[in-house]
Amino acid sequence: MESFWPEKRNMSRKIVMVFIVILILLTFFSVSHLSAATYYVSSSEGNDSNTGTLPSYAWKGISKVNSSSFTPGDSILFKTGDTWRGTLAITASGTKDNHITFGAYGSGTAPIIDATGLNWGINSLGNNYITITGLEVKNSIQYGIRTEAGVDGL
């Protein structure tokens, strides 16, 4: 009977160690998905002092988007029916599995980036794995969307 208890104690230690390793692995692999965020931008209802993380706390200006940092998996959504004057300057890259997405939220007409008098409405040079969907770019002098040849995933 004495030999039974040490074996049971060793087996319990092994189970605890396996459980700890599984928890560490789950934490490691889920961190990248937890860090992705969605940001909202509304020229009609936003405020650049807001967090931007809920439609009711949307950012206002395209300059706020341009000065913010984004990470793979993030989405930056512009309110349908709203218009911004300027150039959206994309400076971050996503990854093959986690693009950075620039798109729209709400229902109605596509959000408009009005680049009147500017060379381009969206400028993405040297950025990888960017998705642009549901946005209208108009009135630019040269290009609606300026990209660099050979960039992956745009």
- At 49 the pLDDT is 97
Residues 69 and 27 in one domain: no
**Residue 68 in tokens:** 């913010």
- At 153 the pLDDT is 53
Beta bridge partners of 85: 114
pLDDT tens for the chain, 154 residues: list them. Answer: 555 555 666 666 777 676 676 666 555 554 445 579 999 999 999 999 999 999 999 999 999 999 999 999 999 999 999 999 999 999 899 999 999 999 999 999 999 999 999 999 999 887 889 999 999 999 999 888 888 755 555 5
Q: In what order do the strands lie in the sheet with 83-85?
A: 83-85, 112-114, 136-138
Q: Is 128 part of any domain?
A: yes
Handedness of CA 61, 106, 32, 24 (dihedral sign): positive
Rounded Cα distance between 113 and 25, Å, is: 43
- At 32 the pLDDT is 47
Q: Is 152 part of any domain?
A: no
Q: Is 22 part of any domain?
A: yes
Q: Is 153 part of any domain?
A: no
Rounded Cα distance between 65 and 62, Å, is: 5
Phi then psi for residue 128, to 5 deg, are -110, 150
Question: Residues 129-145: pLDDT tens digits?
Answer: 999 999 999 999 988 88
Angle at 84 between CA 82 and CA 85, to 5 degrees: 150
Residues 10 and 70 in one domain: no
Domain that residue 25 falls in: 1-34
- At 4 the pLDDT is 54
Counted domains in the chain: 2
